[in-house]
């Protein structure tokens, strides 16, 4: 395996093992960089070792030992790392699957702010550079670097454990991990700000993390459901914007261009999860996504079934945004007026006052009901709230269509 | 690893608790403290007098200047603390969650105690 590929594919796995062996994020990261640098130097002339990953871990372990001798550490920290190193024999250098699980549970620990959880997960498990993460979230590089430094300092200073949580806490902690993975996906899939709608590298990394979770926790149906949900959404991503970078609505998308193999994979996963027991949040969302993705034409969408699934989702995962989505499904299944009434009730509650998609949904239903003046007012309200430039252009076009 | 568990709560609200209930809360604290003494986590712990009894000291141009009252007026005040030994943050948080104030509307701030370097001989 070429070194660049090893780095891209195995970075997180190797780092996870090294953190276990060394007991320290920073020392592990630095040693890993040095080990890869050594590989670049030695492999081309001496040949690639039989087990490249094990070679990297063993080399990194030596580099870390050298580094500890060279550096003036705070004694306590040096003692701790040395104790850690002595406690594990070189035989322990072989990566075990639990290493990555330990790492993701540490990165997504609830004692860290969510932004830091996301950054740390992308940096360590996905091997993205600080610059890449900064670019993906449109923050300056130094800001992102600071965020990572602070998070790692907290892990060390507060002694956030490097372990898979015990069974009684696993459910709650896994929810936090899945929330981070889904947040990465959503930021990639429908960027909440900036000039692009879709940021594919984030989707790809989120799906990769999703696959990792399903492999490491095969007994958790919600992990498989989350993977299915991401696969189903991602399968449609290439058709969501046209060649000018403008939004194409679901009903207007070229269904032949969807990734049908990925839809089949996602749909099979959801079906298996639904057969296994009562569906959770991600299973319901994935089932809805599967119904959309499997409709041969927009007009053939099974709206009554989708509305029913949203009804269940409101109970399992109550949120005003889910209620809004349910309202749209009800409008399509049972009549526009019915859906509009639910949206107006929701609007009156005020929880979504700054959420532009409520106004967008209202505007669309009003337009279809030929109440054009009300629709125009709703589009204007949405325009006052929208932050993404591409969405703004789309709403301006809709508004000028009904005004013209 | 040592952690300081700082117990914050609304002391005005605490002052309004009737005598009988106050005794029950006191008993809960006794039970909790005994529990962490037995499990080996306890290092120290005390309740503090209300902030009305606080004095704040600063030194300005070499002179100690004292003012009446706490360092900052806040909605929740520091009312007590525990110093515990725990193997990691998860264990410290689990112990903090058992402090009676935590389920009576108060907040527990969990702060790791900074390790001090060993003095070389």
DSSP one-letter string for A128-169: --HHHHHHHTT--HHHHHHHHHHHHHHHHHTT---SPPPHHH
- Distance (Å, whole) CA A36 – CA A161: 27
CA distance A166 to chain B (A): 11
Nearby residues of B75 by Cβ (< 8 Å), 6 or more positions away: B10
Token look-up 């200073």 returns: A157
- The 3-state secondary structure of chain B reads CEEEEEEEECHHHHHCCCHHHHHHHHHHHHHHHHHHHHCCCEEEEEECCCHHHCEEEEEECCEEEEEECCCCCCCCEEEEEEEEECCCHHHHHHHHCCCHHHHCCCEEEEEECCCCCCCCC
Running DSSP on this structure, what letter comes out for residue A190? S
- Distance (Å, whole) CA B48 – CA B80: 5
pLDDT of res. A8: 83
For chain B, the maximum distance between any two Cα atoms, rounded to a whole number of angstroms, is 56
Which residues 81-100 of chain B have a CB within 8 Å of chain A? 87-90, 93
Cβ contact, residue pair A159, B88, below 8 Å: yes
- Distance (Å, whole) CA A119 – CA A127: 11
Judge residue B104's burial from the number of C-beta atoms within 10 Å of its C-beta, 0-12 exposed, 13-18 middle, 19 or more buried.
middle
Name the region of B68 (left: φ>0; alpha: ψ -120 to 50; beta: rest).
Answer: beta
Angle at A277 between CA A121 and CA A210, to 5 degrees: 20
CB atoms within 10 A of CB A245: 13
Tokens representing B47 are 């309740």
* Contact between A43 and A3 (Cβ < 8 Å): yes
| Segment B73-109, tens digit of pLDDT | 889 999 999 999 999 999 999 999 999 999 999 999 9
Q: What is the value of ipTM here, to two decimals?
A: 0.84
Backbone torsions φ then ψ of B41, nearest 5 degrees: -85, -25
- Distance (Å, whole) CA A392 – CA A207: 28
Residue of A159, A165, A169 with shortest CB distance to B1 = A159
Cβ contact, residue pair B115, A74, below 8 Å: yes
Chain B's closest residue to A164, CA to CA, is B90
- Distance (Å, whole) CA A48 – CA A44: 7
* Contact between A185 and A207 (Cβ < 8 Å): yes
Chain A residues within 8 A of B89 when measuring between CB atoms:
109, 111, 158-161
Give me the tens of pLDDT residue by residue for chain A, a chain 404 residues long: 688 888 888 889 899 999 988 888 888 999 999 999 999 999 999 999 998 888 999 999 988 888 777 765 556 667 777 777 777 766 666 667 788 999 999 999 999 999 999 999 999 999 888 988 888 888 899 999 999 999 999 999 999 999 999 988 898 999 999 999 999 998 888 765 556 665 668 899 999 999 999 999 999 999 999 999 999 999 998 898 888 888 888 999 999 999 999 999 999 999 999 999 999 999 999 999 999 999 999 999 999 999 999 999 999 999 999 999 999 999 999 999 999 999 999 999 999 999 999 999 999 999 999 999 999 999 999 999 998 888 999 999 999 999 87
pTM of the model as a whole: 0.85
- B80 beta partners: B7, B47
pLDDT of res. A119: 94
């Amino acid at each position: 395996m070429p070194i660049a590929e090893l780095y891209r594919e195995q970075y997180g796995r190797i780092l996870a093992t090294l953190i276990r062996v060394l007991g320290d994020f920073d020392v592990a990261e630095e040693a890993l960089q040095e080990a890869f640098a050594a590989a670049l130097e030695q492999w081309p002339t001496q040949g690639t070792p039989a087990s490249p990953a094990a070679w990297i871990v063993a080399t990194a372990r030596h580099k870390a030992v050298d580094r500890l001798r060279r550096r003036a550490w705070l004694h306590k920290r040096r003692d701790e790392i040395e104790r850690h190193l002595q406690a594990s024999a070189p035989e322990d250098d072989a990566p075990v699957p639990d290493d990555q699980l330990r790492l993701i549970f540490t990165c997504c620990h609830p004692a860290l702010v969510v932004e830091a959880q996301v950054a740390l997960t992308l940096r360590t498990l996905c091997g993205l550079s600080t610059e890449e993460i900064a670019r993906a979230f449109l923050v300056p590089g130094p800001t992102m670097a600071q965020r990572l430094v602070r998070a790692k300092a907290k892990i060390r200073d507060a002694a956030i454990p490097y372990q898979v949580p015990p069974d009684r806490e696993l459910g709650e902690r896994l929810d936090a991990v899945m929330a981070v993975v889904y947040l990465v996906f959503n930021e990639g899939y429908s960027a909440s700000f900036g000039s692009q709608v879709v940021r594919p590298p984030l989707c790809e990394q989120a799906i990769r993390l999703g696959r990792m979770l399903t492999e490491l926790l095969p007994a958790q149906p919600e992990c498989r459901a989350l993977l299915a949900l991401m696969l189903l959404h991602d399968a449609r991503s290439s058709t969501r914007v046209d060649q000018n970078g403008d939004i194409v609505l679901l009903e207007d998308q070229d269904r032949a261009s969807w990734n049908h193999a990925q839809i089949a994979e996602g749909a099979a996963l959801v079906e298996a999860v639904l057969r296994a027991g009562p569906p959770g949040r991600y299973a319901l969302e994935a089932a809805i996504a599967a119904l959309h993705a499997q409709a041969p034409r927009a007009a053939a969408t099974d709206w009554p079934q989708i509305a029913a699934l949203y009804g269940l989702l409101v109970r399992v995962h109550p949120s005003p945004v889910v209620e809004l989505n349910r309202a749209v499904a009800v409008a399509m299944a049972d009549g526009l007026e019915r859906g509009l009434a639910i949206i107006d009730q929701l609007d009156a509650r005020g929880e979504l006052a700054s959420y532009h998609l409520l106004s967008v949904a209202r505007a669309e239903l009003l337009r279809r009901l030929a109440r054009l003046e009300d629709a125009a007012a709703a589009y204007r309200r949405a325009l006052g709230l929208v932050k993404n430039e591409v969405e703004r252009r789309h709403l301006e076009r809709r508004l000028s269509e009904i005004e013209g | 690893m040592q952690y300081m568990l700082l117990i914050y709560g609304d002391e005005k609200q605490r002052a309004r608790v009737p005598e009988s209930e106050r005794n029950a809360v006191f008993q809960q604290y006794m039970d909790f403290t005994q529990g962490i003494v037995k499990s080996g986590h306890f290092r120290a712990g005390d309740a503090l007098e209300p902030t009305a009894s606080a004095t704040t000291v600063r030194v300005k141009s070499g002179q100690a200047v004292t003012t009446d009252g706490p360092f900052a007026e806040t909605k929740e005040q520091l009312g007590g603390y525990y110093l515990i030994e725990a193997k990691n943050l998860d264990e410290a948080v689990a112990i903090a969650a058992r402090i009676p104030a935590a389920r009576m509307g108060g907040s527990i701030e969990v702060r790791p105690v900074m390790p001090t370097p060993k003095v070389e001989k």
